Amino acid sequence: METTADGADPRVRAWAPVCQAIALLLGPYAEVVLHDVASDRVLGVWNPMSRREPGDPSLLGELDRLEPSAHDVYGPYQKLLSDGRRLSSVSAVLRDAEGRPSAVLCVNLDRTPLEQAAAVLAGFAAPSQPRPEALFEQDWTERVHQVVGSFVRERGRPVDRLGREDRLAVLSELDQAGVFAVRRAAPVVAGALKVSRSTLYALLAELKAQRNDS
Amino acid sequence: METTADGADPRVRAWAPVCQAIALLLGPYAEVVLHDVASDRVLGVWNPMSRREPGDPSLLGELDRLEPSAHDVYGPYQKLLSDGRRLSSVSAVLRDAEGRPSAVLCVNLDRTPLEQAAAVLAGFAAPSQPRPEALFEQDWTERVHQVVGSFVRERGRPVDRLGREDRLAVLSELDQAGVFAVRRAAPVVAGALKVSRSTLYALLAELKAQRNDS
DNA sequence: TCCATGGTTGGACTATACGTCCAGATTGGA
DNA sequence: TCCAATCTGGACGTATAGTCCAACCATGGA
């Protein structure tokens, strides 16, 4: 089960027990990977799910893009394996005695079995039609801002610097979601998008035209 | 655990084993009720969840409105207990030797523990941010009818025979759920409740007054 | 620098939907 | 039968949803 570099790295010696413990605890559905930051290579893998071996490139260059949730801990964020399995991942930066980052510990948990189990439980004797949730989003206003916010984060520029296409995209998303079926939605969305009500309707009309063309 | 009418009804004698078996199988979370069709009363209850006893009115007059999914079997459909528990219910028409309906067997399964378990599993190590769901209910119209429908089923009388208090109750539920935040909701609800738009607003005003009193 | 162009804006304006009100019709008892 | 409570259709005023347009930037090319 354990696979570590031949020439036993001191860091591996130091962290192996933790890695192995986690791998054992989470059973066959979690893999633990220890990365070398400097060389960006895998130091060791416990319970490998992705055929990676020590010495392989780590490919975690995107780690620094994630905003650190304090204490050198990242995630949980979602990864997608090529075979479609969804993983929940957390990463932790391990520092040496001097406080310099020396390794990164990643735990990848395969959520598919859990999700399947949840689906089974949820579907047990479930009435075919109705969903039990609240009929409608209570603070849809908040949700609108969330949608706009996440889009903005994706594009990496503030709301009032979004291009026309961007705004069309967000609007399309919101429209599909049915926001404009709720009262007083238009001014709120316009506000969230930092556009006038007029423009809002103009863009909306454009979307409709686009749909009719295709 | 078992509660049946004193003067042992032949139908109870005939069906009691089945009822008890189901009640045992589904543990503490399911109740089995045997109804008399003719007198519309309860014949027996196994594992009672709703304090009903033999001789109580059945309140399932609405059963014949449900479209039979063939073979005298109805459901599963959703019921709502006053304390908020959600039940999945199935009903079966039991016929005598001559093929005439003699009793109705209902199984009510409390889904809340299952749903809680499902929520736990689904939430396990789930990435915190992104919700994949649609922002808003697309066919809320359908949902309104479902809510009204399930209420009607509970009360056991068709929509246009509901009392004032009943309508107030349904309305309160719908209002809490935020239905009236969506455009064009008022006429739809009025239609589903078989009342005029005027009455709808009158009842709504009464609800508001009630809330302000307390 | 000036202009042309495409997009945005505030405001005016119409069409719907919302919510209130009331006189007359209905309903369910005493 | 009559009364009281309730419901109803329609009229009405207000708020919100959409449309339209002239004036107003911003950008880029001449």
Q: Give tens-digit pLDDT for A2-36.
A: 555 555 777 788 788 778 888 887 777 888 888 88
pLDDT band at B132 (very low <50, low <70, confident <90, very high): very low
Residues with CB under 7 A from strand D: A 180, 183-187, 197-198, 201, 204-205; B 164, 167, 183, 194-199, 202-203
DSSP of chain B? -EEE-SS--HHHHHHHHHHHHHHHHTGGGEEEEEEETTTTEEEEEES-SS---TTSB---GGGGGSPP-STTEEEEEEEE-TTS-EEEEEEEEEE-TTS-EEEEEEEEEE-HHHHHHHHHHHHTT--SS---S-SS-TTHHHHHHHHHHHHHHHHTS-GGG--HHHHHHHHHHHHHTTGGGBTTHHHHHHHHHT--HHHHHHHHHHHHHHHHH-
Closest CB from B88, B127, B177 relative to A127: B88
Summarised one tens digit per residue, pLDDT across range B36-75 is 766 667 788 888 776 666 655 554 444 443 444 456 676 6
> Per-residue pLDDT averaged across B101-120, rounded?
79
Task: Determine, for residues A182 and B179 on separate chains, whether the beta-carbon distance falls below 8 Å.
Answer: no
Q: Which chain B residue has the Cα nearest residue A107?
A: B125
User: In this structure, are residues A98 and A39 in contact, taking their beta carbons and an 8 Å threshold?
Assistant: no
Spacing of A173 CA from C14 C1' in Å:
29
Q: What is Dmax (Cα atoms) for chain B?
A: 61
Are residues A115 and B122, on separate chains, in Cβ contact within 8 Å?
A: yes
Residue A59 has pLDDT above 90, yes or no: no
Q: How many CB pairs under 8 A join A and B?
A: 114
On the question of pLDDT at B170 being above 80, the answer is: yes
Best probe of the B interface among A106, A121, A133, A148, by most B CBs < 10 A, is A121
Distance CA A136, CA B180 (A): 10
| Å between CA of A181 and C1' of D7 | 30
Burial (CB < 10 A; 0-12, 13-18, 19+), residue B180, is middle
**How many Cα atoms sit within 13 Å of B83 on the Cβ side?**
6
List pLDDT tens digits, range A92-118: 877 777 777 778 888 888 877 777 777
- Distance (Å) of CA A173 to CA A169, B94, B188: 6, 51, 26
Domains of chain B, each with CATH number or no CATH: 2-114 (3.30.450.20), 135-213 (no CATH)
Between chains, do B78 and A111 touch, taking CB under 8 Å as contact? no
Chain A residues in contact with B121 by the CB 8 A cut-off are 114-115, 117-118, 121
- Residues of B with Cβ-Cβ distance to A29 under 8 angstroms: none
Mean pLDDT, rounded, of chain B = 76
CA of B211: how far to CAs of A175, B82, B113, B168, B205, in Å?
34, 19, 31, 12, 10
Given an 8 Å threshold on Cβ–Cβ distance, is A111 in contact with B125?
A: yes
Instruction: Please indicate whether residue B18 or residue B77 has the higher confidence score (pLDDT).
Output: B18
- Chain D bases near protein CB atoms (7 A cut-off): 6-11, 16-21
Which position has the token pair 């933790």? A18
Residues 6+ apart with CB under 8 A from A194: A159, A160
> Which amino acid, residue B129?
Q
Return the axis-axis angle of helices B185-193 and B140-155, rounded to nearest 10°. 30
Residues of A in contact with B153 (CB under 8 A): none
B-chain residues within 8 Å CB-CB of A110? none
- Residue B156 to residue B162: CA distance in whole angstroms: 9
What is the pLDDT of chain A when averaged over all its residues? Answer: 76
Name residue A135's amino acid.
L
Distance of CA A123 to the CA centre of its chain: 26
| Alpha-carbon distances of A176 from A150, A171, B3, B27, B198, rounded to whole Å | 17, 8, 53, 43, 33
Split at pLDDT 50, 70, 90, the class of A69 is very low
Q: Which residue of A has its CA nearest to B109?
A: A125
**Cβ neighbour number for residue A168 with a 10 Å cutoff:** 16
What's the pLDDT at A134? 59
Q: Which residue has the higher pLDDT, B163 or B122?
A: B163
d(CA A43, CA A196): 55
**Cα–Cα dist B171/B190, whole Å:** 10
CB B115 to CB A127 under 8 A?
no
Over range B22-29, report the average pLDDT: 79
Whole-angstrom distance, CA of residue B76 vs CA of residue B84: 18
Q: E strands of chain A, at which residues?
A: 2-4, 30-36, 41-46, 73-80, 86-95, 101-110
Mean pLDDT of B101-109: 81
* pLDDT for res B106: 84
Q: Which positions in chain A touch B128 (Cβ < 8 Å)? A: 76
| Distance from the Cα of residue B123 to its chain's centroid | 28
pLDDT (0 to 100) of residue A126:
59
Closest-approach nucleotide to residue B183, Cα vs C1': C17
When pLDDT is averaged across residues B156-173 and rounded to a whole number, the result is 87
pLDDT on residue A150: 80
How far is the alpha carbon of A88 from chain B, nearest alpha carbon, in Å? 6
Q: Find the helix or strand (DSSP H, E) in which A204 lies.
A: helix A197-213
The whole-angstrom separation of Cα A125 and Cα B75 is 10
Integer Cα distance of B105 and A56 in angstroms: 64
Q: Are strands B2-4 and B41-46 parallel, antiparallel or unpaired?
A: antiparallel
Q: Which residue has tokens 């030797």?
A: B97
